[in-house]
Amino acid sequence: MLIKFAPEEISKFDIIIDETEPVYPKAYLEEREREWQKHIEKNPKNWNGKIYDLRNIVNVGGRTKFFFRISEFKDSVVRERLTDTYILEKFGLNCLQQAAAVHVITLTTDNQMTFGKRTSFVFKEVNKYAWVGGALSPSEQLITTFNDVVKQGVNEFKEEAGFQIEVNDLELYGLSLFRSIYAFVFKLKQRVDIENFSDNEKIEFDRFIKIKPKDLIARNDLDELVEHLKIHIVNDFL
């Protein structure tokens, strides 16, 4: 999803980026490099670079402050290739730290940005939620205002998950910034009946429930994981 804000909107934004490099175990770095080399052999147009994942949004005196932390495109590719389950079990939660705010990001040289799989994800076993993101190249659609972003989130839910929803049913969940391109992930606030999902989506739901970090499994709630990583999204930002 390509995001270009109007000048009057950008003038009210403050972007604050923590450039501190994350520290990962040697074993993870070695496996990450092996998987990355396999990836670029098949996708030579991809390149590694810095990705800034949202950590907090604060509204102060009419200005909106976005706090980002550094990540790498390489980490996102490896998460997609190895799966969250494998990384959590072998390397621990820290190696998935950047994945909580924005799941899997695929960036290509034509400025497309994709969040995870183009489908819905269920996060709660009792009070079920779903999220969605998408990819739009500049030739497909130019989004010029924040309201356009929200409308696109509604369209993504209709197209990818088959949900008929309204703008008020969405809340901002994640935001990513890469080379001045913004992209958003929205979370569906209404309850979702798992019986409405396809067999593959039900498998994805079951898989996610099983890979929760041990100290969070009992709660069975992704919001606890987000809190655990100190990622705070202002729900009323929309």
Residues 102-148 have pLDDT tens digits of: 332 333 333 333 333 222 333 323 233 344 444 444 444 455 555 56
Q: What are the residue ranges in the chain where pLDDT is below 70?
A: 1-13, 15, 45-47, 49-59, 64-71, 84, 93-94, 96-238
| Residue in 177, 176, 173, 175 with CA at minimum distance from that of residue 186 | 173
- Give the C-alpha separation, 97 to 113, whole Å: 20
- How many CB atoms lie under 10 A from the CB of residue 85? 12
Do residues 172 and 186 touch, judged by C-beta distance below 8 A? Answer: yes
For 168, counting Cβ atoms within 10 Å of its Cβ (0-12 exposed, 13-18 middle, 19+ buried), the class is exposed
In a domain, 2, yes or no: no
Do residues 67 and 16 touch, judged by C-beta distance below 8 A? Answer: yes
Full residue range of the structural domain in which residue 223 is found: 7-233
pLDDT at residue number 40: 85
pLDDT at residue number 55: 55
Residues 183-193 have pLDDT tens digits of: 455 555 444 44
Question: What is the domain count for the chain?
Answer: 1
In a domain, 1, yes or no: no
- Give the C-alpha separation, 159 to 167, whole Å: 15
- Give the C-alpha separation, 168 to 188, whole Å: 9
In a domain, 87, yes or no: yes
In a domain, 69, yes or no: yes
pLDDT at residue number 91: 86
In a domain, 238, yes or no: no
pLDDT at residue number 32: 92
Q: Which residue has the tokens 């939660």?
A: 93
Phi-psi region at 111: left, alpha or beta (left = phi > 0; alpha = psi -120 to 50): left
In a domain, 90, yes or no: yes
pLDDT at residue number 230: 28
In a domain, 208, yes or no: yes
C-alpha R_g of the chain: 17
pLDDT at residue number 200: 53
Strands (E), 30-103: 50-60, 63-72
Q: Which are the contacts of 190, defined by CB distance < 8 A and separation ≥ 6?
A: 165, 169
